[in-house]
Amino acid sequence: MARQESWGKLIKQISDVMRKNANNAMRSQDMTISQMVALLELEETPEKQRSLKELEQCLHVAQSTAAGIVSRLEQKGFVKTLGDAEDRRVKLVQITPAGRMHVADAKKDMSQAEQKLLSALTDAERDIFYVLLQKVCRSLS
């Protein structure tokens, strides 16, 4: 069995490489990981929108940070902000068709990155690895 003290280091190295590659890929599109995660969160909802407060919670960032991310995405035409018809204090963020197209392209890039990450594993090992990652993730919640 591998030495326990090296597990955290290996996980960090994998995370660092994946983050670096993602940042490099997105830099050419004038995007950040946080901006892409925000778009993905919006895309995943049936209404294709969330309140700014919900987005802040999904991204695990401060309200001012979420507002900055949304502002930059709005400038790029990937989201639009609306007022809630029932409560004017609530600011809604909705993904635009341009944002949805950008997400579709990003999902292809993410799939390629995952394929590269898992390329050394057999299909059976990938299945086991995924189950184990889920188990570890749940234990941290």
Q: Which residues contact 38 (CB under 8 A, 6 or more apart)?
A: 55, 58, 59, 66, 69, 70, 73, 79, 93
| pLDDT of 130 over the 60 cut | yes
pLDDT per residue as tens digits for the range 76-126: 999 999 987 787 788 999 999 999 999 998 888 888 889 999 999 999 999
State yes or no: pLDDT of 2 exceeds 70. no
CATH of the structural domain 12-140, one choice from 1.10.3720.10, 3.40.190.10, 1.10.10.10, 3.40.50.1820: 1.10.10.10
The continuous run of DSSP H or E covering 38 comes out as helix 33-43
pLDDT of residue 22: 85
Of the pLDDT bands very low, low, confident and very high (cuts 50, 70, 90), residue 48 is very high
User: Mean of the per-residue pLDDT values for the chain?
Assistant: 90
Phi, psi of 74, deg, nearest 5: -70, -40
CA-nearest of 14, 29, 53, 40 to 103 is 40
Cα 19 to chain centroid, rounded? 11
